[in-house]
Structure 1
Amino acid sequence: MEINVTVVIPFFVKNEVFVQVLESVFTQSVKPKQLIMPRGVYESPEFRPFKSHWQQQNIQVFDNELSTADAMSFAVKVATGRYITFVERQEYWLPDKLKDQYQFLQDHPSAGSVYSGASSLTDILYKSKPQCLAASDMLINNVSAPENIMLRTSLFDKVCRIEPNSEHFIIWDLGLQMMAANIEQYSLRHLCMPLKVYDDGISKRNWCEYRRVLLKNQRVIENLLGVYEFQYYWYWGLKLTAKSEDKIKARIVTTYATAMMYFYKLRIWIDRENEEPVKTVGPVER
């Protein structure tokens, strides 16, 4: 069975985990309409047994030297599938991943995208119902961490303008932009699982990217969640970054960021307590 989906592998690395990731992509229960991949994957022994499954015109190849962001931009331009999905470095696809996501989008025309949001190996046993993502889910809620997206191809190019220096947060950035455009997004937690479980740390080299995406979407976050929520997420990222460094300076930054998080959390609580209840209009007394 062939589905109207373009699968994009936007990078090439040589390690054992990536080999398992590729095998999970090439052995899906349904066949995607198109594959877009770097030359290194196309010429790899893992893909060789599956080349005969696709006609040559349904395979697009690009240079290994392209960055992830540039590869994704290229893929959107040449994609022929109605929907598009991207392979991630540590994400092992369960056999029905493509089938389930595609069927969900077919059954829900208003949905702009659907994510699998598994965050640990145990999530494979957790069969949750589809969940509409809120702004807080897109930012920090690990229960619905947005990963491994499938969305309408036309929507990706319309909503997301990929910046080459924000590669690690492209999907997160895309999700926030879709939130700003009021496009429905859903999470299907049981569709995918990572091969390796990571903590929530943001490495020092990713801090600049995290900060850039956060600032880019500042107005969106403030409109959806509030000014103090934006500040909270800012110091949350700073704390996790400093926490990954084992130095005295990093410990000072961690302490400072933690204190600021508590401060803004308190401000959020105070503001919510002071909110006036919405008055309901009852029957007019005569």
Structure 2
Amino acid sequence: MTINVSVIIPFYQRQSVFDQTMQSVLGQSMPPREIIIVNDGSGGDSSEFLEQYENVATIIDLPENHGVSEARNIGVNLAKGEYIAFIDSDDIWHPEKLELQYNYMEKHPDVDLLHTGCCIFGENRPDAEYNDKPSQLTVADLVHSAQVMFQSVMMKTHVFRQTGGFDPRFRQTEDWELSMRLAKEGYSQHFLNKTLVKIRRGEQDHLSQNWRGYLSGHWGVMVKFKSLFRRHLGFHGYYQRLFNYLDAAGYKQNRWLGKGVIVLARSLKAVNRLSLIFASKPPIEEREKDYET
């Protein structure tokens, strides 16, 4: 039985492992209506490599790299399915992933997005499972943790389009940004407590050059939804979180510049803590309310 789901796969230079991804999609117990592969400006022999899947997938070749957010958006723009599901070009689905999610969505028509547990795997690292998550996401949950990995998501196509899809300015933390936006706008996001996706993490995911993307992504989400974060974390909690991300970015950089960033971050965190301890006035958000009244 084919189910009314469009699978979107952004592809970027993953020739060595991509067939594992495709076989996990093609081997689903309930196959999807269509598979859309977006070659995100990979260059080289990528177009020729992907030709072997022309009989089972629609392939879109982008002349230059746009990033995962825009690549996914382009795929969804062409999708014909009632639901969409995402998988990256080096990850692996459990054989019953689509069937379990599709049945859940059909039984719960009020649910707009359903995500599942994930297993992070890769060379030279132990597997790590992430399946202890809230059954129904709220803004409060997302303020404290990103929660949703979109390689595990099935969602209503029209909801994705209504919200505008992924913000292309985010090449990292795009999952967190869209989940926050969905929660803010009142869409229902449920969690299926089964580990149905294996997400590959290679050495390149931890290289020092990624520290800028990590910092800009996390800070970008917190700035974009500043009022929500401030409401749940408070003034000092908000800035403490920003400085924590600065500290982590310095650790990722792991060179002399990173050490300087770490010193800066820890100094700022210390000042922030002291200002909280010795503050004699109410928090800024309370003073703003006083002015309004």
Give the TM-score band, short-chain normalised: 0.7 to 0.9
Structure 2 unaligned residues grouped into runs of 5+: 40-45, 122-126, 283-293
Match of 1:31 in 2: 31
Give the superposed CA RMSD: 3.6
TM-score by length of 2: 0.73
TM-superposition CA deviations, 1:212-256 (whole Å, max 9, x none): 233222223334554444323322221221111223342232244
Q: Equivalences for 1:23-172 in 2 at 5 Å?
A: 23-38=23-38, 40=46, 44=50, 47=53, 51=55, 59-65=57-63, 67=66, 68-121=68-121, 122=127, 131-135=135-139, 137-141=141-145, 144-148=147-151, 149-172=153-176
The CA deviation at 1:85 is 1.3
After superposition, the Cα gap between the structure-2 partners of 1:73 and 1:97, relative to the gap in structure 1 and judged at 3 Å, is: same
After superposition, the Cα gap between the structure-2 partners of 1:260 and 1:110, relative to the gap in structure 1 and judged at 3 Å, is: farther
TM-superposition CA deviations, 1:182-233 (whole Å, max 9, x none): 222122351212233777x962234223322332222233345544443233
The SS at the match of 1:34 is strand
After superposition, the Cα gap between the structure-2 partners of 1:25 and 1:140, relative to the gap in structure 1 and judged at 3 Å, is: farther
After superposition, the Cα gap between the structure-2 partners of 1:140 and 1:42, relative to the gap in structure 1 and judged at 3 Å, is: farther
Letter of the 2:225 counterpart: N
The CA deviation at 1:152 is 0.7
Corresponding residue to 2:216 among 200, 205, 208: 208
After superposition, the Cα gap between the structure-2 partners of 1:193 and 1:262, relative to the gap in structure 1 and judged at 3 Å, is: farther
Match of 2:200 in 1: 195
Aligned length: 262
TM-superposition CA deviations, 1:92-135 (whole Å, max 9, x none): 111111111222222222222111242435566x8779722243
The SS at the match of 1:132 is coil
Identity, % of aligned positions: 22
Match of 2:227 in 1: 219
Letter of the 2:7 counterpart: V
After superposition, the Cα gap between the structure-2 partners of 1:42 and 1:87, relative to the gap in structure 1 and judged at 3 Å, is: farther
Match of 1:242 in 2: 250
TM-superposition CA deviations, 1:140-173 (whole Å, max 9, x none): 537x453422111111111245333312222221
After superposition, the Cα gap between the structure-2 partners of 1:137 and 1:38, relative to the gap in structure 1 and judged at 3 Å, is: same
Q: Equivalences for 1:267-286 in 2 at 5 Å?
A: none
Taking the aligned partners of 1:229 and 1:38, their CA distance within structure 2 comes to 40
The CA deviation at 1:178 is 0.8
* Residues 137 and 183, structure 2, Cα contact 8 Å, conserved in 1: no
Taking the aligned partners of 2:15 and 2:58, their CA distance within structure 1 comes to 23
The CA deviation at 1:180 is 0.5
Structure 1 unaligned residues grouped into runs of 5+: 275-286
Match of 1:284 in 2: none
Letter of the 1:133 counterpart: L
After superposition, the Cα gap between the structure-2 partners of 1:224 and 1:130, relative to the gap in structure 1 and judged at 3 Å, is: closer
Taking the aligned partners of 1:4 and 1:38, their CA distance within structure 2 comes to 20
The CA deviation at 1:24 is 1.5
TM-superposition CA deviations, 1:28-54 (whole Å, max 9, x none): 111111221136579537636xx3xx5
TM-score by length of 1: 0.74
Match of 1:254 in 2: 262
